[in-house]
Amino acid sequence: MSGVRGAVEAREPRAGQDDRAALLDAVRLKLAEAGEEPTPARVAAALRSQGRLLGDTAVLGVVRTLRSEMVGAGLLEPLLAEPGVTDVLVNGPEEVWVDRGSGLEHTGIRFGDAAAVRRLAQRLATAAGRRLDDARPWVDARLPDGTRLHAVLPPVAVGAPCLSLRVLRTRAFTLDELVAAGSTDAGTARLLRAVIDARLSYLVSGGTGTGKTTLLSTLLGLVGHGERIVLAEDSSELRPDHPHVVRLEARPANQEGVGRVTLRDLVRQALRMRPDRLVVGEVRGAEVTDLLSALNTGHEGGCGTVHANAACDVPARLEALGSTAGLERPALHSQLAAALSVVIHLARDRSGRRRVAEIHVFERDRRGLVSTVPAIVLGADGDYRRERGWPRLAALCERGAA
């Protein structure tokens, strides 16, 4: 008998949950048909139409639940509004993670079920003007407030929808703020400023989440205010503190498969806009050939970011990208040798802190192939030391500033 009683008691909470879910679905459908916001009065009216009379507290609970689904980012809104948050990740109804700049932390936020995560992902995709459904089970877009959205639905995402939100700062860090945060030291900060003042062309490299966009925004803020910066990005993320910035953003094809604008298209258009500094937010494809060509035709101080595990891997990475545009290896290395001067590589330590890990210069060997030579390297003791490429880097900065 006790076993039967336990089974019944175990089923009752679940039955209550199912009843609440059915009630929410009915109210949600009623409001959607009328195109109304979930105000307390409208929710109460929708409940009455279902033959349900609830007290004020219960009605307000339903209102809070529905508003979390229909307004902003719902349950994730408090995390996105929290200062210092860089990423919010949802791996399932009970798997919500946040990165406050020191690594991922599990939160106490819970969605009702996988369907609630799916509804949120689809609503955010709609707000970004994109489609997300079974026929198009993933989306990569920018929300109206600048937040970067990526979502994947089952069956591509196994088990439950996955949602990734990258929070963008409304303003760029200053170089002094990066020093205070431990991202670099004062001496290396002066060196970075010298690279900008000398109008050297450079790439910021690193893995995902190492702070490439953050550092690039900071460095662009050091550009003289009499210069014109033209940004070409897949998704507008750079926020340099500069009075003369022109932003160009790529566009996917519409549902009819037309209207696509690629990053390569943007780079070509940017060259016709009299840029003093041409910036490619992230070099990830055939646009590398247009960028290198531009930097070889008088566009000094151009820059961008690129994914790479280490600074020494950047030439191989660019070689692979150039091959997608049909650029042969000798031609790419010839362009690379004349176009770029410096690689600034970022990494995250075990505590999650993002730091400038090394600065390299490009060097061409007798075969005509380009490699990188370390000039400044972050040691295990946390101090920077000068390496073999330091004299060349110092000479480049002095020659450019002269």
Q: What is the pLDDT of residues 276-314, one digit of tens each?
A: 999 998 888 888 888 888 888 778 899 999 999 999 999
pLDDT at 400: 63
236 and 160 fall within a common domain: no
283 and 241 fall within a common domain: yes
Q: Is the pTM of this model over 0.85?
A: no
Average pLDDT over residues 240-251: 93
Alpha-helical regions (H) of 72-183: 77-81, 114-127, 175-180
Q: Does residue 91 form part of some domain?
A: yes
240 and 279 fall within a common domain: yes
28 and 98 fall within a common domain: no
295 and 369 fall within a common domain: yes
pLDDT at 358: 96
3-state secondary structure of 327: coil
Q: Does residue 66 form part of some domain?
A: no
158 and 189 fall within a common domain: no
* CATH number, domain with residue 251: 3.40.50.300
Task: Inform me whether the pLDDT recorded for 151 exceeds 60.
Answer: yes
Q: What is the pLDDT of residues 82-109, one digit of tens each?
A: 888 889 999 999 999 999 877 889 998 9
181 and 155 fall within a common domain: no
236 and 101 fall within a common domain: no
Task: Inform me whether the pLDDT recorded for 3 exceeds 50.
Answer: no
Task: Inform me whether the pLDDT recorded for 4 exceeds 90.
Answer: no
Handedness of CA 15, 17, 18, 20 (dihedral sign): positive
Q: Which of 294, 315, 306 is nearest to 365 (CA)?
A: 315
pLDDT at 123: 87
Q: What is the pLDDT of residues 201-225, one digit of tens each?
A: 999 999 988 889 999 999 999 999 9
* C-alpha to C-alpha distance for 372 and 315, rounded to whole angstroms: 8
Average pLDDT over residues 360-369: 92
Q: What is the pLDDT of residues 105-123, one digit of tens each?
A: 999 899 988 998 998 999 8
Distances 230 to 58, 274, 279, 291, 374 between C-alpha atoms, Å: 54, 8, 6, 12, 29
pLDDT at 36: 60
Average pLDDT over residues 130-147: 88
Domain that holds residue 120: 74-166
Task: Inform me whether the pLDDT recorded for 50 exceeds 80.
Answer: no
Residues 6+ away with beta carbon under 8 Å from 204: 212, 215, 216, 219, 303, 304, 305, 306, 343, 344, 345, 346
Average pLDDT over residues 138-160: 90
162 and 193 fall within a common domain: no
Q: State both tokens at 333.
A: 């290395």
% of the chain exceeding 90 in pLDDT: 46
Last residue in a domain, options 166, 200, 228: 166
